[in-house]
Structure 1
């Protein structure tokens, strides 16, 4: 016996989708995917055309966010807002001046050092010619190519052209310093503005907060590990007797910001210098020791310490390097992970319909929101709570 509410209700009839209806829905989906791909390609092409403006602006935005914890600490101990913003701005300026001066000094030192190894270069490409003859490559053709690519004059000319391109570098630095100045000045009112935005659009503030927290962890951890890696490389190269050890240590510090392939780029110049100055065995030891130090620190230890600062898979990280290097030029290689983090947190994570993208690219797929608002940029902002009797 069944009670009336236990009686089985008739199931609604199944709706069968015909092939014509399925084709009718498939066409709009295909158009949406096609238009999305075209929009992404058009955006990247547009960014590549205005990279000289976008790259310094986004880099300055990242650096101001990275020093925001220092500014918040100064505010907590009672420093005036103007003083806290000024200290944060001067910290960014000091970092930029030290970084670009060290790069300039490194390139200048290399330009002055390379002409002294002309004889070693000549011996190296003669040995290379003999090695290539074993593979059937003619000596005249190989000699022409090697003299054009490996001669000290060619490398010195390339490095000198980099130094002579001071106009673009000064324009980039001027834009970067101006952007940092105005962003640091505007940051004094940022907590109050974040509170007002959170009152009407808390989801947007959560996305901004996740992006800011990730950027802060990424830049701080990358900088600290870059200093550690460069110090270890300096000691190793000095013990091996490689010339310009300090230059290669500075180069390793800069390439530490490039994800995945940074240490591969950093190991090539000191290995070639060791080959010229000390021979093949020393070059082999240099490559092995340099690679071990950089691989262990950058690929094994640093991701564990950084945690979910960016939270994307290694494949996504490498693809983002290629995409942003195309869109923003050489600076895009340094900004690849922060730019990917911005797209992920501000566009993908905010839309539940795009959750499948996070499941593909995220290193640890999880929910979208963590329930906290404004902790990175506005420490006084938090989720609205009510007394127990009003819940």
Structure 2
């Protein structure tokens, strides 16, 4: 009669318990997403300006980084509101082109053998007026972010005042909890590096996209350049999200040829930079493998919505620091998350 190994049974039970706990925690995070998402955004921004805070003393260490963050948020928010207002005023002009495009699509489908009744049934659910309604409701939808902005600013203010105290408290734990302190400091360092990489590549992509769209005559090139910059923080699939609106607008404004040029330009510029070059630097700076990064995008988008997609990598880096790196009994799993063995010095390929 085979003898059961108690150790393997214990490992299996712990794995099953950990998975169940993760599901429960993620469900709770989703229920509290309206608070957790802006709070973690505030934490990420506070960490992003930590190199500036380290160079300052006294009250300046608290208020100068906070002022920098608020100025950047105000600039981005103002640009988004102005661009969205222009977009909402522009889209209704293309309602007739949208109807003609649907009619042309119906004729093409009929020519290749699709029954007219099936075409009418398929197009009956595509109401051209919805395009106009969506544009008109865009600005009103922005008001729904006011609560998230307020939470972010309030938490930012508190974290800026407490940053120096928390830094000293963390240093005092070095003797008692060296693993936790090392993990948290690694998370802060990785987050700063990741945000720096994404910001630099995002600016490059935004400038190139804006220039190409302006040359092609696509309306609102600055808006789509701003969208490219923001979606650059969404790993791997960000350029697809940034491509769809200017491609559709190019189709409505100038026709199929311009749309194809926009798609080609985005595929060459954005795919090459965002999906080939940048992940090698972003993944290495965040110490997350490509597979983990993709899964992070799916999980955190489900749990926290659009903001979860932007914060997917910092969120997973934080989870790795707390759940794996801080505990010697689980540190063995870190190479599987990072995609390489850091202890051996092997770099990700």
- Report the TM-score when normalising by structure 2: 0.91
Residue aligned with 1:325, SS: helix
CA apart distance, 1:125:
0.7
User: Larger Rg: 1 or 2?
Assistant: 1
CA apart distance, 1:143:
4.0
CA distance in 2, matches of 1:343, 1:325: 15
Structure 1 range deviating more: 210-219 or 184-193: 184-193
* Residues 290 and 150 of structure 1: CA distance in aligned 2, closer, same or farther (over 3 Å): farther
State the match for 2:244 in structure 1: 268
- Report the TM-score when normalising by structure 1: 0.82
Report whether the alignment pairs 1:97 with 2:69. no
CA distance in 2, matches of 1:123, 1:338: 45
State the match for 1:63 in structure 2: 45
State the match for 1:3 in structure 2: none
CA apart distance, 1:190:
3.6
CA distance in 2, matches of 1:145, 1:274: 24
State the match for 1:300 in structure 2: 276
Structure 1, residues 223-280: CA drift from partner, whole Å, max 9, x if none? 2221221111000111111111111111111111100100011111111111111111
1:351 to 309, 327, 341: 327
State the match for 1:139 in structure 2: 116
CA apart distance, 1:207:
0.6
State the match for 2:172 in structure 1: 196
State the match for 1:21 in structure 2: 4
CA apart distance, 1:148:
4.1
Whether the aligned pair in 2 keeps the contact of 1:82 and 1:188 (CA below 8 Å) is no
**Within-5 A mapping of 1:229-378:** 229-306=205-282, 308-367=284-343
CA apart distance, 1:322:
0.5
* Residues 135 and 49 of structure 1: CA distance in aligned 2, closer, same or farther (over 3 Å): farther
CA distance in 1, matches of 2:248, 2:186: 42
2:154 to 178, 185, 193: 178
2:54 to 57, 72, 75: 72
Structure 1 range deviating more: 180-189 or 293-302: 293-302
* Residues 205 and 33 of structure 1: CA distance in aligned 2, closer, same or farther (over 3 Å): closer
CA apart distance, 1:307:
6.3
Residue aligned with 2:84, SS: helix
Whether the aligned pair in 1 keeps the contact of 2:179 and 2:328 (CA below 8 Å) is no
CA distance in 1, matches of 2:14, 2:40: 29
CA distance in 2, matches of 1:310, 1:82: 31
State the match for 1:372 in structure 2: none
Report whether the alignment pairs 1:44 with 2:21. no
CA distance in 2, matches of 1:133, 1:323: 41
CA distance in 2, matches of 1:336, 1:306: 12
More helix by share: 2
For structure 2, the 5+ residue unaligned runs are none
For structure 1, the 5+ residue unaligned runs are 1-17, 370-391
CA apart distance, 1:172:
0.6
Residue aligned with 1:21, SS: coil
